[in-house]
Amino acid sequence: MKNNNKKEYGIILIGHVSKDIIIAGGRTTKTLGGAVYYSSIAARRSGAEVLVITKLAENDMNLLEAFTKENIKFVPLTSPETTSIENIYYTKDMDRRKVTLLSQAEPFALKDIPDYDTGVYHLAGLFRGEIPETLIEPLSRRAKVALDIQGILRGSENGKLLFKDWENKQDLLPFITYLKTDTAEAEIVTGLTDRTKAAEYLYSMGAKEIMITHSSGVLLYNGTKFYHAPFTPSNLSGRTGRGDTCFASYLAYRLNHGIEESLNYAAALTSIKMEKPGAFHGTIIDVLARINS
C-alpha cells in the first residue's frame, strides 16, 4: 500500500559504498568510494533531492558521515562485510586499471527498498549480484529506472575482475529508461566496437536513453539523435568515479532539463571532478562557468 505522506526524492540510489584502495603513479590512497558515493554527491550538488540505500558492516557505519556532511539522507542496512576494492592504474590517462574485489557486502532485496515517491531509481551497483536483476522490473513499476551496466557485467572470481555478457538483456532492457555503459562494457554487451552502433543496438533492445562514456567525453543516444560532449580536465588525478559522476549528474539535471543541456552539464561537472581526487565538491555555478568557458 502506498504511503500518502511519504517524502519525495528526485533520485533514490541503491548500491554498496566501498572502502577503496587506489594505486596510481607509485602512490597508494585509501578512500571512501563506490558508485553511490560519487553519484549521490554529484546529484545532490546538482540540485536533486537524493536518498541513498546502502549496505555495510556495523563497525563501518561511520563511513556514512560523508553523506550527512552533504545533506544526503540514507538508509543504512547492515551486512557481515563492507565492500572493499583495490584499483591499480597502469596508464597516464587512467583508462587501464586492474580491479580486485577484496570483500563484498550482501546483495539487496526488494524488501530493502522503501516505496518512497521518486522520479528515478538509480541502480548503482559495483559487481554482479549486488543488485539482483530481478529488482529491475518491479522497480520500473514504481518509477523510471536508471542502470549502470557495470553492476550487471562485472563479476569477481577469487577476488579478480571478470566481465560476462548480460544473459537476460533482451528481457530486461525494455524496463530501463536511462542506461550507462563505458566503451569496453558496450562492446561486451553488444559485440560492437563502434560506440554509435553499440548505442543504436542497446536502444533497439529497449533502453530509452543510452549514455556511453569514453576517455575524451560522453555520447548519448535517444533513438533519434546522437549527442556528444567532451571532457576537458586539466589533469586526471580524480579519474576514479568518472562514470558514476557523469551518469548521476546527468540524471539530476535531466529531472528538469533537456538531453543536450543535461549532457553538457554532466560533462563539464565530470571534468571539474577529475581534476581533484574524491567526489565532486563544486557548485552548479562552477559547472555553468566551465560550460561557458
What are the DSSP calls for 183-208, one per residue?
HHHHHHHHS-S-HHHHHHHHHHTT-S
Report the pLDDT value the prediction gives residue 7, as an integer from 0 to 100: 53
In which domain, by residue range, is 177 found? 13-292
Could you read off the pLDDT of 21-68 as tens digits, one per residue? 988 878 898 989 999 999 999 999 999 999 999 999 999 999 999 999
DSSP 3-state of 68: helix
Could you read off the pLDDT of 149-165 as tens digits, one per residue? 999 999 988 777 889 99
**CA–CA dist 143, 115 (Å, integer):** 10
Averaged pLDDT, 112-123: 95
Q: 85-94, 234-243, 274-283: which has the minimum mean pLDDT? A: 85-94
**CA–CA dist 157, 163 (Å, integer):** 10
**CA–CA dist 31, 237 (Å, integer):** 14
Bridge partners of 27, per DSSP, are: 24
Averaged pLDDT, 107-136: 96
CB neighbours of residue 233 within 10 Å? 16
Q: What is the DSSP letter of 106?
A: P
Could you read off the pLDDT of 1-19 as tens digits, one per residue? 344 444 589 999 999 999 9
Q: 21-25, 90-94, 120-124, 183-187: which has the minimum mean pLDDT? A: 90-94
**CA–CA dist 101, 95 (Å, integer):** 18
Report the pLDDT value the prediction gives residue 2, as an integer from 0 to 100: 42
Averaged pLDDT, 263-269: 98
Residue 3 lies in a domain: no
**CA–CA dist 7, 62 (Å, integer):** 25
pLDDT range class, residue 179, cuts 50, 70, 90: very high
Number of domains the chain contains: 1
Q: Which residue type sits at 285?
A: I
pTM of the model: 0.92
- Domain containing 244 — which CATH number? 3.40.1190.20
**CA–CA dist 126, 147 (Å, integer):** 11
Residue 44, CA distances (Å) to 133, 209, 267, 276, 287 in order: 26, 21, 16, 18, 14
Residue 217 lies in a domain: yes
Report the pLDDT value the prediction gives residue 93, as an integer from 0 to 100: 59
Residue 123 lies in a domain: yes
Residue 222 lies in a domain: yes
C-alpha cell at 73: 539522507
Q: Are 41 and 70 in contact (CB under 8 A)?
A: yes
Pairing of strands 160-163, 154-157: antiparallel
Whether residue 91 has pLDDT greater than 90: no
Q: Are 208 and 222 in contact (CB under 8 A)?
A: yes
Residue 8 lies in a domain: no
Report the pLDDT value the prediction gives residue 89, as an integer from 0 to 100: 82
Averaged pLDDT, 83-99: 77
Q: What is the DSSP letter of 114?
A: -
Buried b (16+ CB within 10 A) or exposed e, 20-43: bbbebeeeeeebbbbbbbbbbbbb
DSSP 3-state of 174: helix
Report the pLDDT value the prediction gives residue 92, as an integer from 0 to 100: 64
Residue 161 lies in a domain: yes
pLDDT range class, residue 207, cuts 50, 70, 90: very high
